[in-house]
A = this chain, B = another copy of it.
Amino acid sequence: MTHAADTAAAPHHSGPQGETVVYTYLGPEGTFTEAALLRIPGASDAVRIPAPSVNSALEMVRSGQANAAVVPIENSVEGGVSATLDALSAGTSLRILHEILVPITFVLAVRPGIGLADIRTVSTHTHAWAQCREWAAANIPSAEYLPASSTAAAAVELARQEPAFDAAICAPLVAERLGLEVLREDIGDVRDAVTRFVMISLPGLLPEPTGADKTTLVIPLPEDHPGALMDILEQFSTRGVNLSRIESRPTGMFLGDYFFSIDADGHVADARMADALKGLHRISPGLRFLGSYPRADRREPEVSRHTSDEAFRDADIWLQSLLNGY
């Protein structure tokens, strides 16, 4: 087994002779998704193309127009998470190379000269509004809310000649770029909110195992439910593999037909993970492997003696000796 070189940060389709790397991401510009992309080393020098939807971002990767795409995968304020899970579960198989955690902090942006008391209308994405509602009720109780298609779209509209509202709730990044005045910072109701993004590329060499990795899978639920889900979970638990995320998604139009999107602690190069994946493949051969990649938080899992690489190797040697007649 071979792994991508240490420069795994760059998607492996970028050439060594300095060809330009092209990234796409769920746009528009200035959202938290672009902020996530900018955390990737070298991304600020690369071509960055905002895509109108998660699907179109992934299509750019599949068609070779972009080397990689950054999209939200967990708890986004701009939506898109279900779209990401669904898009990864169908079509050409893709691979997650990185995960990026971005703290979610909102600012109240206004046109110069506007104070809190002057705000009669405020716009932002519905999810962002939901997350600032308490602050708004306390500080701009009489302001009317107007929905926008993204936090950045609200900011862009506000920066125009004759905006349709007085204030926008958006990411610090876009307010700064557009030269809007930031009247209040960090107005979200929940402290320490964070959204998780992933960088996605075509299949290729896997990122090297680091000891603190994550593996992402899409597992169709075979036939009958409760037993089937327990069978799936058991493949992990009997190998001491912890799950950090499990989400169900309907597969389509038929009631009660699901797949599960799962993040498990460890790398497919770890014996216990490889064994769990083989077990999963046997009971649900339509299983999809979406990559093994370093955890953003660098937290290493506890591995028991029974599920260490050494225990797996010893068991293989022992079994081979039996088959050889010893």
Contacts and interface: CB of A to CB of B under 8 A. Distances in A.
Interface residues of A, number: 69
Interface string A220-261: 000011110111011111100111111110101111101000
A71 to B, nearest CB: 16
Contacts of A316: 278
Q: What does DSSP make chain A's interface, helix, strand, loop or mixed?
A: mixed
- Determine how many copies of this chain the complex contains: 4
Interface string A312-326: 101110110011111
A243 B225 contact: yes
A187 B210 CA distance: 52
A165 interface: no
A196 interface: yes
Contacts of A268: 319, 322-323
Interface string A263-287: 0000011000010011101110100
A90 interface: no
Nearest to A310: B282
A145 interface: no
A76 B248 CA distance: 16
